[in-house]
Structure 1
Amino acid sequence: MQLKVIVISVLLASISCDHTSSPECGIPRNVAVSLIRYGQNTTRGDWPWHAAIFHRNSTWIENVCGGTIISQKFIVTAAHCVAGNNKLSLPLKRVLVQVGLYDLDVLNPAFSQKRDVKRILMHEGFSGIENDIALIEPSFPIVFNNYVLPVCMNLESDITGELGTVVGWGITENDRISPVLRKVEIPVVNTSTCLESDRDLFGQSLSNGVICAGYNDKATVCNGDSGGGMVFKRCNKWFLGAIVSFTRKRPDGSNKCHTASYAAFVRVQHYISWISDNTGMSIKPFVCKDPGNSLQCGKRKIETDNVITDERETFHGEWPWNAAIYLRKGSSHIYLCGGTIIHRRYILTTENCIQDRTNSMNYAPNKLFVRVGIHNLDTLNSDTMQQYDVDKYYVRTLKIALLALQTNISYTNYVQPACLYTKKVITGDLGTVVGWGSTQGIDLSSELRKTTISVINVNDCSRSRRIRRRTKYNDALDAEKFCGGFIYGSIICSGFGGGGVFFRSGDRWFLGGIVPVAVDLHVNCVTKGNRWIMNVYHFLPWIAEKTRVSF
């Protein structure tokens, strides 16, 4: 049976870490240390809840789909994986399941368990595309061990833009079935993006029970992956958020998936009641206290005993939320500006940071990437530095930009999120500006620098010659901006653009402002006077709307 296929999606946020079976769900026991990349082979035991579904008759047996173990008695999959041409359930003897399987060519009984099927429960509303979900009850219970375990369920809130992991034995980029289990990490996309890509395919199918995900310009998942789960990690556990359902077919009549297409997934949360009613499982909700942003935002993990003689110097790890944004230029790249980590997936900066100054157009997201955990732009420390591609961005024209990364940032001692300032800055507040910029009128600094500014009274600021004469970026002070600097001291200058202005409260640092990018990074700026700063407080509702995160 050709699977209907691929792409990811899910729902997320509130999850149930302690709902069902024993042992504890969603925690692999054999974990290999490796990076998640497209089409990467897995290690045996990495995904112990993944099941293989076979069709058979008297002369042959064929792996057709994946499934996910949710308890010792039940596997959840796509309905089309166990349906015949009449959309009714196949005869039980035609279906076989195997768990603990890693290599299709090597059936090792020391790890895998084979089961006939006792019962197939297809959703009563299955029509071929809609309600594409089914439960399989094996002939006798699955035995849990290091290589066979259940996944967790109950992802309760929308996670459009999040990344999930799909595993399977599907068709690879070489158009061949993979004999070993593979994994891919792909993003959930919003409904409008999916519809714009193929309205004929998705127009009648996207609903509360279906989610769209994947990439529209490169391969994701394909035939053979159908019925498998899309999982998300929360609370250090893996939760089932969606099931691979269908995607566009190739125009060559081969019935294979179009590998450069979004795909539709069954949204598991929509069917939690149906699953519970048909399995007798009690699936309790659990709110993950850290769905993406650390509750310890704005806290340093590293302090230093070294004596810093220049108050503008910083030490590595002092500002772990600082990010560097780059532009790809052929086989090379250039530093554009700074930014601030506010969430595992989001970097906040200014809109003119990502703008091509030759034509006032914003750079395409795939031309941008971000580095975090770095201190010196010229000497990269591979032990602390992490690099992420930009998936998309949101902008408030000539104001701020929110970069969404393709994969979630890993928090370390050198990489942490800043808190967002949820109160207005007031005259006299002292803030710290951080970036690879000048504090004395010289060009970019390779070392991360800092300088202190004071919030200036609006009337005093308006009398500043520097503020009055700059009009290119609409410098009129309003609720979106505040004025900062020292009238008779060094101020923020070239290279600090896009970086944050941080205010300390107790033992935490809060992002209160963003420095606009200079028109020309290589032109020395005036080192005495005041400067307007984008006021983060004003944009909090917009940031929350775009990230769907409560800060």
Structure 2
Amino acid sequence: PQLHFNRDSVMLLVLLFLSLTSALDPTSNNALYQCGVRRRIGVQLIERGWVAELGQWPWHAALFHVSSNGSSSYACGGTLLDQRHVLTSAHCVTTKRRKNIVPIRGSRLMIHLGQYDLREITGVQLRNVSEVHIHEEYSTNRNDIAVLVLSSDVEYSDFVIPICLDNRVDPDLTKLVGQRGSVAGWGLTENQTVAQLLRTAQMPVVSHVECVQADPTLFGRYLDRGMFCAGERNGTSVCNGDSGGGFYISEGDRWVLRGVVSFSGVDETRQCDTAQYAGFANVHNYLGWIKDVTGSRGGTDDKLDIPRRRSEIECEKYKELAGKRGNGICLNSRQPHNVALIYENSWGVCSGALISDEFILTACSCMKRMKPVSARIGQFVTIKIAKTLCHPQHEDFVNDVALIKLESKVEFAASVIPACLANDWTENLYDTLLLTGFKEDYRVYEDVPGFGKRPKITELVESVDNLIITEAECRNRTEAMGRTDRITDSQLCVYSPGHEILHAYDSNGLAGGALQTYNSRTCIYSILGICADSYTAQSVTIYSRIARFLDWIEPIVWAVDDPTESEDEDGTPPEYEGNELSLGSSTEDTCTYKFDPNQLTPTGPIRKNTVVVDTSEFKDISIAEFRKLFEELRLNLSAVKSV
């Protein structure tokens, strides 16, 4: 007899099959869920602190503190990033020991996922915490962010879904002002009692100015460039117990994590003031750090991967060189990348920064009158200069960056280690901004091989109390000195309050010097800017913003991974031009393919005897990786007829 199926019975069989396969392999469920996309249909947005709906915020986590007797108590919120990581506030997972801030042991922490009612754990996924990562520059309400590593993977469901991290959001917080986001938590209610059911509220982002004016004592002290402010001042706010939870913004059909609840004001009873604004850690500023800690490509949505730049990959190698002793002290000396540029038959010195074993980053203005002939790296290494390259669009103090190639490669040591280059995602990680450079001491002369007697180049001068200021504030400070040009997106304006640091340099010593941050965890410096112009009377310095010049720097500094790989198998050298990397002609007929960077599937026009790959979305591809890709293509093309 024949079997007949109608549409409903076919669908029933499909659902039955999916249920059976999911039961056999629970991890297969994970493929059915996308970050930031809720599966509970009909959930309404609820304002003014009402009870949330079941499944409304499937990425919201509950953080419990576990006592020595095994009992646990609710402490903070958190946000699920992927199957193994939860983001929360650093103050939720730290304690003080002998006046030092230290992480709470993972064994004293527990994460609940899919929780709605604090009194009920049926269906809730409970996970121990195996690792606690606190931002290395966390201090009271600054860099208040932490990543928790779970003891085992969670299983995605309608009630447990990760949030999206989006590297494409505009980093300019002024454009976020007025936008409404959502928060959730089991914090204290307006009656100062702990909420048993998950509650939620909507609130707008407000400007720094409005926030500080509302409470100058609180926000004037703690609200820095790594944070933003939000709230209604009408009772709709976060409270004790909401810390660590997320600030979610809707982007069409998905939700993105934009902030982490950090702090709010208190009223006269020392309880949280729900009529006051709240401070949130700006997640966008920490995407690079989150990626480093989680080992992921910046979130849970493959389409939102943070591209790994070539300079980032090289930076990993430098971290291995820096290292730490067993006592936690960095092995490298202070500023092991700083360079003094020396001119022939002329006094004066410019600064620069070593960024690879044969390239120095400096300012083009250092070559305006004459070109330097050698570079002093550290205290004992001096190498002649082979070539200087100014940015092709350099004009006066605009695009004022340059590369110097050395005649011989540098041997790395504790006193000679390159610096990393900050990009859009890493330049805002750390509060401490270091301003460095060299100067000549005209009271002391020394013999320099090949140069005779000249003023001694003194030890490095360093300033740590520096602030990046807005274009308007910068203009107010520099107009009196005759500067009328606006600060562009490719520049940073730095103010050094209360310091006469700029007067410690001669007219050249500060030029080309690096504005940098220091990572005490990896012992590595990252360069944010190169000094282009300074106004000593106003303690203001203009820097070229390095993140905006990486597309020019990287192909020059790291053009070829390995000299042995500089030629293709048929002897034709690879050619690099713009974002297109091509290999020479093959002896066989092959097709030209251009790749969709996300899908890596062949598309586009066809041509004989060459393969071209558009690398615009993965700039860090190496010759070795390209060759492997090329060989895979050759196999795939074997069945394609030439045209």
Band the TM-score falls in, shorter-chain normalisation: 0.3 to 0.5
TM-score, normalised via structure 2 length: 0.40
